[in-house]
Amino acid sequence: MKINQVAPETTFFEGDSRGIIIFHAYTGSPNDVRSLGRSLNNQGYSVLLPLFAGHGTTRPEDILATGPALWQKDLERSVRVMIDHGCSQLAVFGLSLGGIFAMKALETYPELIIGGGPLCSPIVPESKTNIVPSFKFFAKKLIEESGANDLEKRQRLSDIELSLTEQLSEIKEFTTLVFDQLATVTQPTLLVQAGKDQMIDPQDVYLMEKALVNSLTQVKWYPESGHVITIGPARQQLQTDVLTYLNGLPWK
C-alpha cells in the first residue's frame, strides 16, 4: 500500500477511484479517525484524513486563531486533492465537529459526493453540549505541559476563555446554516451515534434524521461507546458498519 503525505499531518491512503474523506474532531487530529481510514483503505478505497487549520499543535490558541471559514477552505481543498488523485466519486464522514463539515460537503457537492454522514456530531445548533469544559481542560493540559509559570498560565487561560466564546459563537452560526439546509441533502446518509456520549445529547441524532427529509437515512447506535467512537469499544463494529454502508452506494 502506498501512503502519501499531502500536508503536515494530513494523510492520504491511496486506493482506487472511490474516494473517502474523514474529518477529525474539534481539538483533535487525523489520529482520531486513522484506524477507520486504514480499515476502509484495506478494502480498496482511497482515503484522505485532512488536518483542520490550527489543529495538531501544542498551542490551544492556534485553534482559536482559526475558525469555520478556514475549515470550510480545508473542506474545499480536500475535495480538490481527491479529484487530483483521480477519485471520480466521494463519500465524506466526520467525527464530532468534522461531521458538521461532512454534512456541509453533502450539501455543497451533490453530484460528486454520493454519501457520507456524521459520527457523534453536534449538528443540532440549539442543543446543549459540554464543549466549553472539554476545551478548557484540553487547553489547561497543553499549557501545563509547555512549562508555563503560574502567572502566564492564568493569563493564557483567561484570554482563551474569551476567544473560545467568540469561536463557539461562529461555530454555532455555521452549524445553524448547515442544519437549515439538511433538507437539500438527497444522498443516502449514515448517522452514527454513541449511547454514552457525554459531549452532546445522543438523542439529537434523531432530530437530525428528522431534518433529512429527502435522504435515505440509516441510524447506527452504539450503546456502550463514548463520544470519540472511532477509538472506542465499538470501533471494529463501526468500521464494519461504515464499510457495509459504503459498499451499498451507487459507485460507478
Q: pLDDT tens for residues 13-69?
A: 999 999 999 999 999 999 999 999 999 999 999 999 999 999 999 999 999 999 999
Q: pLDDT digits over 220-239, tens only?
A: 999 999 999 999 899 999 99
The pLDDT of 139-167, averaged and rounded, is 95
* Distance between CA atoms of residues 2 and 11, nearest Å: 11
Distance CA 211, CA 220 (A): 17
Is residue 8 predicted with pLDDT exceeding 50? no
Q: Which amino acid is at 203?
A: Q
pLDDT tens, residue by residue, 193-216: 999 999 999 999 999 999 999 999
Query: Cell 493569563 identifies what position?
Result: 155
pLDDT at position 7, please?
A: 42
User: What confidence score (pLDDT) does residue 75 get?
Assistant: 98
Domain boundaries, the chain: 3-129+165-247
Measure the CA–CA gap between 155 and 176, rounded to whole angstroms. 32
CB-CB neighbours of 145 under 10 Å: 9
Percent of the residues in the chain that have a pLDDT greater than 90, as a whole number = 95
Helix, strand, or coil (residue 251): coil
Q: Please give the positions annotated as active site.
A: 96, 197, 227
Task: State mean pLDDT over 108-132.
Answer: 97
Q: Please state the rounded mean pLDDT for residues 86-112.
A: 98
Pairing of strands 46-49, 89-95: unpaired
Q: Does domain 3-129+165-247 have CATH number 3.40.50.1820?
A: yes
Task: Give the model's confidence band at 9: pLDDT under 50 very low, under 70 low, under 90 confident, else very high.
Answer: confident
The whole-number pLDDT of residue 37 equals 98
Could you tell me the pTM of the whole model? 0.95
